[in-house]
Amino acid sequence: MENKLRIYNTLTRKVEQFIPNEEGKVAMYTCGPTVYHFAHIGNLRSYIMEDLLEKTLRYMGYDVKRVMNITDVGHLSSDADTGEDKMLKGAKREHKTVMEIAKFYTDAFFADCGDLNIKTPDVVEPATNCIPEFIHMIEGLMEKGFAYESGGNIYFDTSKLKEYYVLSNHSEEELLVGVREDVDEDENKRNKTDFVLWFTKSKFEDQELKWESPWGTGYPGWHIECSCISMKHLGEYMDIHCGGVDNIFPHHTNEIAQSEAYLGHKWCNYWFHVHHLNDKAGKMSKSKGEFLTVSLLKEKGYDPRVYRLYCLQSHYRKPLEFSFEALDNAVAAFDKLTKRIGSLRKDEGAVEPEKFDAWKARFQAVLCDDLNSSMALTVLYDMLKEDMSDATKDALAEDFDRVLSLDLTTAYAQKESENGVDAELEAYVLERIEERKAAKKARDFARADEIRAQLLEKGIVLEDTREGVKWKKA
Ligand code: AMP
Ligand code: ZN
Atom of ligand 1 nearest to the CA of 43: 8
What separation in Å is there between the alpha carbon of 252 and the centre of ligand 2?
A: 7
CA 407 to chain centroid, in Å, comes to 17
**Confidence at residue 388, expressed as pLDDT on a 0 to 100 scale:** 96
What separation in Å is there between the alpha carbon of 416 and the centre of ligand 2?
A: 42
What separation in Å is there between the alpha carbon of 105 and the centre of ligand 1?
A: 15
Check whether 439 has a pLDDT greater than 70.
Answer: yes
Average pLDDT for residues 43-71, to the nearest whole number? 97
Ligand nearest to the CA of 223: 2
Which of 290, 294, 333, 292 is CA-nearest to residue 310?
Answer: 333
**Confidence at residue 236, expressed as pLDDT on a 0 to 100 scale:** 98
Atom of ligand 1 nearest to the CA of 46: 22
Its sign, for the CA torsion 409, 410, 415, 419, is positive
Check whether 373 has a pLDDT greater than 80.
Answer: yes
Average pLDDT for residues 134-143, to the nearest whole number? 98
CA distances for 405 relative to 119, 184, 304, 309, angstroms: 9, 45, 12, 9
DSSP state of 129: G
Q: How many CA atoms lie within 13 A of 275 on its CB side?
A: 14
CA distances for 348 relative to 132, 304, 344, 394, angstroms: 60, 31, 8, 10
Portion of the chain with pLDDT greater than 90, in percent: 71
Q: Return the residue whose CA atom lies nearest to atom 3 of ligand 1.
A: 34
Q: Are 2 and 361 in contact (CB under 8 A)?
A: yes
Atom of ligand 1 nearest to the CA of 244: 12
pTM to 2 decimals?
A: 0.87
**CB of residue 56 inside a 6 A radius of ligand 1:** no
Task: For residue 168, name the pLDDT band (cuts at 50, 70, 90).
Answer: confident
Atom of ligand 1 nearest to the CA of 243: 10
Q: Are 304 and 294 in contact (CB under 8 A)?
A: yes
Could you tell me which residues come within 8 angstroms of residue 174 by beta carbon, excluding any fewer than 6 positions away?
A: none
**CB of residue 244 inside a 6 A radius of ligand 1:** yes
Q: Return the residue whose CA atom lies nearest to atom 6 of ligand 1.
A: 33
**Rounded-to-integer distance, Cα 183 and Cα 186, Å:** 8
Which of 240, 131, 150, 145 is CA-nearest to residue 195?
Answer: 150
Average pLDDT for residues 357-378, to the nearest whole number? 98
Check whether 290 has a pLDDT greater than 80.
Answer: no
- Per the model's pLDDT, the better-predicted residue between 233 and 221 turns out to be 233
CA 105 to chain centroid, in Å, comes to 17
**Rounded-to-integer distance, Cα 376 and Cα 167, Å:** 29
- Give the strand pairing for 195-199 and 219-220: antiparallel
What separation in Å is there between the alpha carbon of 35 and the centre of ligand 1?
A: 12
**Rounded-to-integer distance, Cα 165 and Cα 253, Å:** 7
- E-only strand ranges, 299-409: 320-321
**Confidence at residue 177, expressed as pLDDT on a 0 to 100 scale:** 44
pLDDT in tens, 391-413: 999 999 999 999 999 999 999 98
**CB of residue 32 inside a 6 A radius of ligand 1:** no
Cis peptide before 132 (omega within 30 of 0): no
Check whether 181 has a pLDDT greater than 50.
Answer: no
Task: For residue 23, name the pLDDT band (cuts at 50, 70, 90).
Answer: very high
Check whether 369 has a pLDDT greater than 50.
Answer: yes
Q: How many CA atoms lie within 13 A of 14 on its CB side?
A: 3
pLDDT in tens, 224-251: 999 999 999 999 999 999 999 999 999 9
Could you tell me which residues come within 8 angstroms of residue 243 by beta carbon, excluding any fewer than 6 positions away?
A: 30, 31, 46, 251, 252, 272, 273, 274
Q: What is the mean pLDDT of the chain?
A: 90
Q: Return the residue whose CA atom lies nearest to atom 2 of ligand 1.
A: 33
**Confidence at residue 416, expressed as pLDDT on a 0 to 100 scale:** 81
356: phi then psi, degrees, rounded to nearest 5:
-55, -50
Check whether 156 has a pLDDT greater than 80.
Answer: yes
**Rounded-to-integer distance, Cα 431 and Cα 415, Å:** 19
- Give the strand pairing for 268-274 and 123-126: unpaired
Check whether 178 has a pLDDT greater than 50.
Answer: no
Domains of the chain: 6-274 (3.40.50.620), 300-313+323-417 (1.20.120), 421-473 (no CATH)
Check whether 172 has a pLDDT greater than 60.
Answer: no
Check whether 1 has a pLDDT greater than 80.
Answer: no
**Rounded-to-integer distance, Cα 342 and Cα 121, Å:** 29
Portion of the chain with pLDDT greater than 70, in percent: 92
**CB of residue 226 inside a 6 A radius of ligand 1:** no
